[in-house]
Structure 1
Amino acid sequence: MKRITATILISLLAVALLTGCWNRRELNDLSIALGIGIDKVGERYRLSVQIVNPQEIAARKGGSDSSPVTIYEETGDTLFEIFRRMTTHTPRKIYMSHLRILIIGEEVAKDGIQNVLDVFARDHEMRTDFYVIIARDTEAKQVLSILQPLEKVPANFLYKTLQTSESVWAPTIGIFLDELLSDLMVKGKEATLTGVRVLGDAEAGIKVDHLKATRTSAFLKYSTIGVFRADKLVGWLNEEESKGYNYISNRVKSTVGVLPCPGGGKMDVEVIRTKTKLSGKVTDGQPEITIEIRIDQNVGEVACDIDITDPDVMNKMDRVGEKKIKSIVEKTVQRAQKKYKSDIFGFGDAIRRSSPKEWERLENDWDNLFPEVPVRYNVQVSTLRTGTQSNSFINKMER
């Protein structure tokens, strides 16, 4: 009897669990958002949402006169309010789980971003694996509206281009929402975000005919890295400093460097591997930072008269590379310490890890201490390969 009762109870429990997809959503009832832009209009926010038009980007569909995306926009005092208000002129509920890019207008970033990020971190349906960038010298709405060839959806273009740029060039940085939130919350490390610009004729770039031209009238181009203090954008690094920031942060995967040759001309090297160790300590009550950078590189191009088969020559070129990298990272640290007074490198966090008790003493005054922290640099460069050619044909031509 007990066995029968147990069987019935288990069966009833199983039936209760088989409730089906009670909260399912049909694709035809959803508007899939891939990109979101946030701008300021007076004291209010303007939200722009890029919705994909599936029928226009189907793989087998031929050319069309319709746009692959639609931009909806609405204004309000808070983002959560705006999202709901947007339903008054969108036929479908906006679905955010496939978001690829969040673009924050430069004016919004200067005023502070903590308020605009809360809704994205709080929503249980939203993943955090989307990039956050800044619309530099333009509006976020404008960035979302520029159509690009190869990638019909601007949000996908921005996502993939940032991935590629970060991997092979280095003056940009892809920051996901969760990493940004961590930088904003951790004491001893300030946030950074990459900027994007609209170049060319922006008005022409929003038209579908723009995609049919061999040369586009307008295009999107990633800029350099923006520096935050607390949650406010305070300025921009230049291209060289942005690369220096990535060297210090151990984020350089590959890039290209141009080195001057002893007798004139230049040699290009391809950085293929880097490793940075950032360590901190407190000596006699004063914090100190040491940055050690190890770089492996290959010869990419030789436009000068040097013998790259001579080990002594290549050793000298490696020392030239070390001097240049050290100069770049020194300038980057100086810009962050003296101009922006923003610890974007995490020097304070390095002190906290090495000397927790000392950090408790320094933490509350770190904003004043950071600009004066001494930094030591140790850079080592090694050239591994010179390519399929021994010496440049330029040498033979000159002879």
Structure 2
Amino acid sequence: MSRGRRAVAAACASLLALLLAGCWDRRELNELGISMAMGIDRAGDQYEVTVQVVQPGEVTQKDGQSGRAPVTVYKASGATLFEALRRMTNDSPRKIYSSHLRFAIFGEEAARQGIGDALDLLSRDNELRTDFYLLVAKGTTAENVLDILTPMEKIPANKVYRSIDMSERNGGFTAAVSLDEFISVYVSDGKEPTVGGVEVAGSDEAGRFRENVKTIRPAARILNAGLAVFREDKLVGWLNEAESRGYNIVVGNVKKAVDHVACPQGGNVALEWVDSTSKLRGSVRNGAPRLKVDVRVEENIGEVQCALDLNRSSDIRELERRAEQRVEELARQAVEAMQKTYGSDVFGFGEAIHRSDPRAWRSLKKDWEEAFKSARVDVKATVKIRRSGTIVDSMRKKKGE
């Protein structure tokens, strides 16, 4: 056989192999229920699993002409999560397909009992990708969150996903943590996991009806609720908005944000973060851990409510000094909350010690939780103001106030 014929034969064989391999598990789209979000709750020794499934005809319908909701939810219980998911076939006319999952959310009670078993299922199922977010429902069940219809986004799962993503990137008020990222921290030494939290504001019951999205002020909304703090696989508490931002400052997650500092003569100056970096360092002296955080921030001036002279370098430096104090204050709030309230090293200071002094870390590792609580943590911030916008003088300075 000539070389050309052999090449053609090889190509045909390869194509045939691809066709045979690619079709054996094919499923028709009209046989699948596309799940966008999964909720996990506990009831005694049973798992309760809720999935939010898209109703394709309603998503493409203009202005909800049919009157039906764009999504529906299915719920089932079982001794294991795997059983609960399979039992949904008793109710759903289609196989629940979860490859497009936006997030998996745990009810607060389920998260406090531990999510290790759920992590096993979520990472073992070959139908699931591992880049979806993990969340905790603050003060409520996962089912209640998935029942709420939302304005702006027809599919509520998309609203939650985008809100978490936007809040992390443009404010540092929460954290967008994927399954992969959570597991990576969970199995490591010297760092504990965190995930974003959401809560239902308003009436759970009213949020289940289409009327919730037909009014200027919905009766129920899904809001971001700061950060959920874990120790191993169990929820131990929550960080508020300021502490959540402080956490993100320490770990270097804040790229864009808005904050303010007080003017020396009264009023405020709004500052926009345009970039930031953070470095964590750990060392051990005489058996005691010493921890350092070095934060560098670049900011622009967004609004001036006083008669500062922005042409004067001393006034700019005073703003930078006050901004540095503000950054350090937020970071220390988060560190103190972890040390005094939760004893959970969510920052990765243990990892920093491990990198710098593996031998010292081996002696600290076993009792790191206690050592972390009493460790000295120094925070240093450096702020540089780059731009003042399209005008230099404030309106008050122009008026001579």
The two structures have a TM-score, normalised by structure 2, of 0.94
Q: 1:240 aligns with which of 239, 242, 246?
A: 242
The two structures have a TM-score, normalised by structure 1, of 0.95
Shift of the 11–237 alpha-carbon distance from structure 1 to 2, 3 Å rule, reads closer
Counterpart in the other structure of 1:28: 30
Counterpart in the other structure of 1:117: 119
CA distance in 2, matches of 1:388, 1:287: 47
Q: Which runs of 5+ in 1 are unaligned?
A: none
Counterpart in the other structure of 1:54: 56
CA distance in 2, matches of 1:304, 1:99: 49
Q: Which runs of 5+ in 2 are unaligned?
A: none
SS of aligned partner of 2:192: coil
SS of aligned partner of 1:148: coil
Supply the AA of the counterpart residue of 1:338: K
1:258-273 matches, within 5 Å, as 258-273=260-275
SS of aligned partner of 2:126: coil
Q: Which moved more, 1:341-350 or 1:370-379?
A: 370-379
CA distance in 2, matches of 1:59, 1:393: 49
SS of aligned partner of 1:202: coil
Shift of the 178–395 alpha-carbon distance from structure 1 to 2, 3 Å rule, reads same
Q: 1:91 aligns with which of 86, 93, 99?
A: 93
SS of aligned partner of 2:74: strand
Shift of the 286–203 alpha-carbon distance from structure 1 to 2, 3 Å rule, reads same
CA distance in 1, matches of 2:8, 2:270: 76
Q: 2:259 aligns with which of 257, 260, 264?
A: 257
Per-residue CA distance 1:338-373 (angstroms, 9 max, x = gap) = 111100100101111111222122211212211111
Instruction: Confirm or deny that 1:325 pairs with 2:327.
Output: yes
Counterpart in the other structure of 1:208: 210
Counterpart in the other structure of 2:158: 156
In the TM superposition, residue 219 of structure 1 has moved relative to its aligned partner by 0.7
In the TM superposition, residue 7 of structure 1 has moved relative to its aligned partner by 8.9
Instruction: Confirm or deny that 1:135 pairs with 2:137.
Output: yes
SS of aligned partner of 1:289: strand
Counterpart in the other structure of 1:38: 40
In the TM superposition, residue 167 of structure 1 has moved relative to its aligned partner by 1.1
Percent identity reads: 42
Q: 2:349 aligns with which of 347, 350, 359?
A: 347
CA distance in 2, matches of 1:241, 1:345: 12
CA distance in 2, matches of 1:302, 1:18: 65
Counterpart in the other structure of 1:360: 362
SS of aligned partner of 1:45: strand
CA distance in 2, matches of 1:64, 1:13: 50
Q: Which moved more, 1:76-85 or 1:304-313?
A: 304-313
SS of aligned partner of 1:115: helix
CA distance in 1, matches of 2:12, 2:222: 58
In the TM superposition, residue 117 of structure 1 has moved relative to its aligned partner by 1.6
Counterpart in the other structure of 2:219: 217
CA distance in 1, matches of 2:186, 2:137: 19
CA distance in 1, matches of 2:17, 2:329: 68
Counterpart in the other structure of 1:170: 172
In the TM superposition, residue 288 of structure 1 has moved relative to its aligned partner by 1.5
Shift of the 147–398 alpha-carbon distance from structure 1 to 2, 3 Å rule, reads farther
Counterpart in the other structure of 1:144: 146
Per-residue CA distance 1:293-315 (angstroms, 9 max, x = gap) = 00000011111232222211110
SS of aligned partner of 1:362: helix
CA distance in 1, matches of 2:9, 2:388: 74
Counterpart in the other structure of 2:340: 338
